[in-house]
Structure 1
């Protein structure tokens, strides 16, 4: 569980509703189904127009990654690579074939299979970097979906506000209907801003951060597999991979 995501959402939502309570505003005044329908329906409707359906469905699925980080981590990648290197050093590269069959990650499975097949290290790098690029393009679309939704939401909130004001202006002769129209107008704006700045944009940023972590680990994996293919010492491989943790992954391709 990512505590930063939970704490952030609690702080953001709590600050808005807490501030409203301190100002003496009744919380019920912020609950407007009409405003929610306009903002959420309009925001995600525009998002559906902007992206293919599989990309949107993947984005909603990837929301879980904002709350639950991937199980693998750089230290785990280093440990796995060192294990592969030691095994290959003792029993030869062909001994890694069993690892290729048991590992669950498809990227790792393909990399190990290429090592076992004895592919040239340069070809290995080129092939795996193509896979890495494809993975990045696929993953970053989820962040783009939420960033786009975050851009639409405030504008849709303004549309809701305008609709509320139109309702108010058309009922000036009936004071009993003015309050509801004004409430929808202002609450729609709040919903639009909160949808964008508390949920969509932060989720997009978090997903980009997750992608950065995953790319770093895959770059480390590529470098480690090439080192294994070259027959390098496991201790030297470990030192090389730990350099990625020191420079934030800027060693890509070096």
Structure 2
């Protein structure tokens, strides 16, 4: 089961709302701030920079990363603590390199 993070969408709506409110209250009006070529240069240039910087597999994961910023999976904290306890026992006994295989098999994306 996944838990919705309600604060992220609320924060986005508030930020956009405050920006539009401030623009509407200004003397020049909303039309003064709308410039399609500038928007295309900013958004298109940013997207092109992402494509130049990262490989295709990383770019394909952008939608899932955006989704994870709003909807986070619920984690059983007791199981997570038990998992860390087991890993710490192995580290204490055999050293840090002994847990490489267990860490690689973990399902947590972080």
TM-score, normalising length from structure 1? 0.32
CA RMSD of superposed structures (Å): 3.2
CA distance in 1, matches of 2:73, 2:58: 20
How far has the Cα of 1:135 moved from its partner? Answer: 7.5
Which runs of no fewer than 5 residues in structure 2 stay unpaired?
84-89
CA distance in 1, matches of 2:28, 2:70: 31
Which runs of no fewer than 5 residues in structure 1 stay unpaired?
86-107, 109-120, 140-210, 212-254
How far has the Cα of 1:37 moved from its partner? Answer: 1.2
How far has the Cα of 1:54 moved from its partner? Answer: 0.9
Asked whether 1:127 is paired with 2:85, we answer: no
Which residue matches 1:33? 36
CA distance in 1, matches of 2:100, 2:64: 30
Asked whether 1:61 is paired with 2:64, we answer: yes
- Name the one with the larger helix percent: 1
In the TM superposition, what are the counterparts of 1:1-254 in structure 2 within 5 Å?
Answer: 1-72=4-75, 76-78=76-78, 80=79, 121=90, 122=94, 125-129=99-103, 131=104, 211=110
Aligned pair count reads: 96
- Name the one with the larger strand percent: 2
TM-score, normalising length from structure 2? 0.66
CA distance in 2, matches of 1:35, 1:60: 24
How far has the Cα of 1:27 moved from its partner? Answer: 2.0
Q: Which has the higher contact order (CA 8 A, sep 6+)?
A: 2
How far has the Cα of 1:68 moved from its partner? Answer: 0.6
Larger Rg: 1
